[in-house]
A and B are shown apart, each in its own frame.
Chain A
Amino acid sequence: MADIAIRAVRKSYGKTPTLHGIDLAFASGEFVVILGPSGCGKSTLLRMIAGLEEITAGEIAINGRVVNRLEPRERGCAMVFQNYALYPHMTVAGNIGYALKVAGVPKAERLRRIEETAKIVGLVDYLDRKPAALSGGQRQRVAMARAIIREPNVFLFDEPLSNLDAKLRVTMRAEIRKLHQRLSATSIFVTHDQVEAMTLADKLVVMNKGVVEQVGQPLDIYHRPASIFVASFIGSPAMNLFDAHISVHDACLAFGGTKMPIEKALAARLGERHVTVGIRPEQCVVASEARGIAMKVDFVEELGSGRVIHSELGGQPFAACIDEETHVRPGDRIALELPLAHLHVFDRETGRRIELEFEPRSGRGATKRQMLEAV
């Protein structure tokens, strides 16, 4: 159990900066997922916490103790690597017990703890095998057992599931979550897979190009993405984003040849400006021609539980999820209503979110008011 504080941490390789000042705080026992596209610096951040990369500037504290100059073994972290990094010449038992062997734990106790740990991950029958004789999922378990046996304060996962096939990934995801509930050590999990991120995280950190875009609970981030990047990165199919214009005079949002009326007061508050508007495909509603925006269906993706139609709005691709009852074929015309309540509006220059609602819902007042002031 340990809390982690990351203060103004920077990283550059030579003269190329990769992390531009990261400030994060994780509570003890939290499951944190760091999500971002490849090259955003998420793995670098994780490796800096582990002690495998030097910290160029700023500091990282684990349990209140600054660890910048500590060796990995002194930090109380255990790490699961993307390619497992098992020791190929050792048996499963040897792999799991290596940390204890290095630490000089007597053989009898070592064997007992190896057995115990192997039970947790379900590998008791495989202790004598070499990694080469194991399946991908089993190797993954060995890697986790190797981390568990050290009883670390902090678990670090560096994209541990990306080498597994889709089905195994779902199983292992559930196992990691269960393991966390059982051991309740602070866990930091790096991934580029937003489904993993949404399902695992207590706290989600979205990173892009070496900066933190947004920190929050997964659902919060899904419903209120703080920037265009977060909006487009979270959710599948991805959020539809299109250019729009706010007209104060007409009190409307103009885009793709249509005008959506908005309250005069709101229009006046936002002011005459170009914005980027987003709506999630699952929040578009099929409506009558009179109420909705008419579009031509280009093609349809069948998902079984529903279907995704692909179309165009104002020259930009537009996707919408519809239920399985509504039958459409490529070439059909369909009218979609885009409910104002589900629209996300972003400043086109800064990419930041602009709040539409006037009255903040209870509980989130402060942050929202700040956002309003920022606008």
Chain B
Amino acid sequence: MIQRTPFANALTYGVMVFGFLLLIGPFVVIMSGASQTFQQVNAIPFSFLPQDRLLENMSAAWTRASLGTAMLNSFVMASLVTVGKVALSALTAFAIVFFRTPLKGFFFWMVFITLMLPLEVRVVPTYAVAADLFQPVRLLISAVTGFEVSVDWNLLNSYAGLTLPLIATATGTFLYRQFYLTLPDELAEAARMDGSGPIRFFIDMLLPLSRTNMLALTTIMFVYGWNQYLWPLLMVTDPEYKTTMMSLVALLPSDNGTPDWNVTLAGSLIIMLPPLIVVAVLQRWFVRGLVATEK
């Protein structure tokens, strides 16, 4: 609906400015706070003006929370989640859309209902599985032979443990399925007539055609993987595997310590940076992949 009256225009701008301030506000606080000295950040009233202490604060935060390891861990985790997720979704959706199998509908719905079960809901059983992978085999052996076999096999304190439970969800599968459904049947048939088998079709047709879709999913998944807090907290006890979100806690001033919020804010600015860069680089495809399919 397009209305060109001064009042409507003013209202539109009002709403837009309000929304903009709402979104940019916290970021401005972080930016200015992170560049101020200990005294300035604690001054009342708070000054929104950026100062020149940004780099010093950042380096203080970097050493305090040993952000080097954490950033690397988070980066590996987010990348693994992204790659695993994209590969899994593309292949599952391929199986669901392009093959005529009797239980296709059943499998689709099984995958689909996991959409309703985010990690937070199934965190306890998932942890139980990850902490004792051998359990089903042990139960089987003891049921059949009566022997108790003790094998210690778990995913605690490992990249596999950090990423696998996050990969096994349906969001990406659903996105890919919707994309595959927009492709005309004749495309697959033409490829079949040209002599291409299913795997060839997947590599030659579906992968290049789903490029925007893939980049959109990459963006979402990288940010999602990077921002994980609850799951790493459960899986990781070894500081070698700590992720950035866990280090964020270490950056908070303790109850009776010095309230050096400038360092905390500088640290969170560093942590924010990688997903920001990913979104900035990929946002063009991100929007295209979610909104429309490339014709």
Contact = CB atoms under 8 A, between A and B. Distances in A.
Interface of A: 50-52, 71-73, 77-79, 81-89, 98-99, 102-103, 132, 146, 150
A83 B193 contact: no
Given A85-B184, A88-B209, A132-B295, A73 B190 contact: no
Contacts of B187: 85, 87
Interface stretch (B58-66, B172-180, B194-202, B265-273): B194-202
Given A88-B209, A88-B295, A73 B189 contact: no
Interface string B188-220: 011111111000100011001100000000000
A242 to B, nearest CB: 43
Contacts of B195: 72-73, 99, 102-103
Contacts of B238: none
A102 B193 contact: no
Contacts of A73: 192-195
29 contacts: A50-B193, A52-B193, A72-B195, A73-B193, A73-B195, A77-B193, A78-B193, A79-B189, A79-B193, A81-B186, A81-B189, A81-B190, A82-B186, A85-B184, A85-B186, A85-B189, A87-B205, A88-B209, A89-B208, A89-B209, A98-B194, A98-B204, A102-B194, A102-B195, A102-B196, A103-B195, A132-B295, A146-B190, A146-B194
Interface residues of B, number: 18
B64 to A, nearest CB: 49
B134 to A, nearest CB: 44
Task: Select the residue from B190, B195, B204 with max chain A CB neighbours within 10 A.
Answer: B190
A93 to B, nearest CB: 14
A72 B192 CA distance: 7
Contacts, number: 58
Q: Interface SS of chain B: helix, strand, loop or mixed?
A: helix
Contacts of A84: 186
A143 to B, nearest CB: 8
Contacts of B193: 50, 52, 72-73, 77-79, 99
A79 B193 CA distance: 7
9 closest cross-chain pairs (CB), A and B: A85-B186, A73-B195, A99-B194, A85-B190, A81-B186, A102-B195, A89-B208, A102-B196, A79-B193
B18 to A, nearest CB: 41
A73 B200 CA distance: 14
Nearest to B195: A73
A281 to B, nearest CB: 38
Interface in B276-295: 294-295
B223 to A, nearest CB: 27
Contacts of A78: 193
B69 to A, nearest CB: 41
Contacts of A81: 186, 189-190
A79 B208 CA distance: 24
A374 to B, nearest CB: 41
Nearest to B188: A85
Nearest to B200: A102
Nearest to A79: B193
A71 B193 CA distance: 9
Contacts of A79: 189-190, 193
Nearest to B211: A89
B186 A83 contact: yes
A79 B185 CA distance: 14
B194 A52 contact: no
Nearest to A89: B208
B186 to A, nearest CB: 3
Contacts of B196: 98, 102
Interface string B111-125: 000000000000000
Given A81-B186, A85-B186, A102-B200, A52 B295 contact: no
B192 A52 contact: yes
A83 B184 contact: yes
A77 B190 CA distance: 11
B295 A87 contact: no
B163 to A, nearest CB: 31
Contacts of A88: 209, 294-295
A77 B191 CA distance: 13
Contacts of B209: 88-89
A361 to B, nearest CB: 44
Contacts of B190: 79, 81, 85-87, 146
A155 B200 CA distance: 24
A89 B209 CA distance: 7
A88 B189 CA distance: 14
B181 to A, nearest CB: 16
Contacts of B189: 52, 79, 81, 85
Contacts of A72: 192-193, 195
A83 B191 CA distance: 14
Contacts of B191: 87, 98
A72 B204 CA distance: 18
A79 to B, nearest CB: 5
A12 to B, nearest CB: 15
A71 B195 CA distance: 9
Interface in B151-187: 184, 186-187
Nearest to B294: A88
Contacts of A87: 187, 190-191, 204-205
